[in-house]
Each structure stands twice: as C-alpha cells, then as structure tokens.
Amino acid sequence: MNVTACMTPDLPEYNVAVDRYADWVVVQEYAPPKTIDAHKARQRLFDIIAATISVLGIAPNKLVLKTRERQKGKNQYQKLGEKGEFLEVTEYNAHLLVNLTDYLDTGLFLDHRIARRMLVR
C-alpha cells in the first residue's frame, strides 16, 4: 500500500492534512480564520512544508500544496488545473489512478478505505 494519511487537521495551530501518494505528497492547508494573524499562519505553513520534506525525505518538486476554503454550490467542484496527469497508486492490491493537481480532492477519501478493501477481496 503506497497511500498514507500522514497528518490530519486536528492541531489548531497547524490546520493541514498531509497525504502521501507513492513518492508524492499533498499538503492541504485549511484556510485560517480571519482572527489568526496572516503572517503567523503563513509561517506555520512554511514550517509544515519544510518538516514534511525533511521527515518524509521527498524532493520539493514532489510536493503539491492546496488551500481549502469554505465554498458552496458549484464552486467547490471547480477545476484547479488542466494537466490531466494521473499517478498510479496501490491500496490493498488495487491499482488506482489519482490526479493530484487538477482538483482540490484527489478522489481517494480516507473514509472510503474499507469499501475499497472489500472490493479487492
């Protein structure tokens, strides 16, 4: 299995999710509330990026950064890009394709992991 949730947004100071897909990492920052100093929030994000690269031992060009903001309606499904590049990952012997850049979500949701495992059986 080469898909791993490394960090979830449970720490209020570091409101990010870090997910590993093979040799790629996606860091999703949840936009801080207006009450948080923008400079401080930016520095925390830089700290997370540096720590992620160091701890996971990945090349900086293998990190994808996304910012999640509260969205409604059709806006939440808008494309971020048009690269159309897919990465093959494995989970429970299933070969899956993910697109790390064109959408906010990759399509592999942690809460669907049990269903994917059942499909492989």
At 27-47, the pLDDT tens digits run: 999 888 888 898 998 999 999
Give per-residue pLDDT as tens, 64-85.
Answer: 999 887 666 665 556 767 788 8
Separation between Cα atoms, residue 74 and residue 17, nearest integer Å: 23
- Give the domain 3-70+79-120 fold: Transcription Regulator spoIIAA (3.30.750)
Sign for the CA dihedral angle at 21, 27, 31, 36 comes to: positive
Spatial distance between the Cα atoms of 53 and 105, rounded to a whole number of angstroms: 21
Q: Where are the domains of the chain?
A: 3-70+79-120
Say if residue 27 is exposed, middle or buried (CB neighbours under 10 Å; 0-12, 13-18, 19+). buried
Q: Mean pLDDT across the stretch 111-119?
A: 86
Burial class (CB in 10 A: 0-12, 13-18, 19+), 91: middle
DSSP 3-state of 45: helix
pLDDT at residue 76 in the model? 57
The answer, yes or no, to whether residue 117 has pLDDT greater than 80, is yes
Q: What is the pTM of this model?
A: 0.81
> Rounded to whole angstroms, how far apart are CA atoms 115 and 121?
10
